[in-house]
Amino acid sequence: MLRSLQLFHGTRSYSYIPPLLSPEIEAVINEFSSKPLISIIMPVYNVDPLYLDAAINSVRDQWYKQWELCITDDASTNKETIKYLKSIQDKNIIITFS
């Protein structure tokens, strides 16, 4: 599935289409002698769900699949932020609320 990221800044709109995983790169990744789990820490506070979605999808689109995304919400008051975070269903994403 080809996914593009849509980002908006003021009246401007930007699209980014991540490159597809080539067979050569996939072969190199598969030959790694060690495949450690990479932990990505993302603190958030009242972030627009549009930007959260773009950030999360940028991690999901990585070629290396041994990752976990640890999102910690620092007592957001924005209901849309909280609603979005609670809606995430992904075994690789850990969300905590303070």
Reported as a single tens digit per residue, the pLDDT across 27-50 is 888 899 999 999 999 999 999 999
Please determine, for residue 54, whether its predicted confidence score (pLDDT) is greater than 60: yes
Residue scoring higher pLDDT (13 or 85): 85
> What are the tens digits of pLDDT across the range 56-94?
999 998 889 999 999 999 999 999 999 999 999 999 999
What 3-state DSSP class applies to 45? coil
**DSSP secondary-structure letter at 11?**
T
- What share of residues in the chain are helix, strand, coil (percent, to 5)? 30, 30, 40
- The torsion angles phi and psi of 54, rounded to 5 degrees, stand at -65, -45
- Sign of the alpha-carbon dihedral angle for 68, 90, 95, 48: positive
98: containing domain: 33-98
Q: Based on the structure, what is the number of domains in the chain?
A: 1
> Is residue 7 a part of any domain in this protein?
no
Is pTM beyond 0.85? Reply is: no
| 83 belongs to a structural domain | yes
Distance between CA atoms of 72 and 88, rounded to whole angstroms?
13
In a domain, 10, yes or no: no
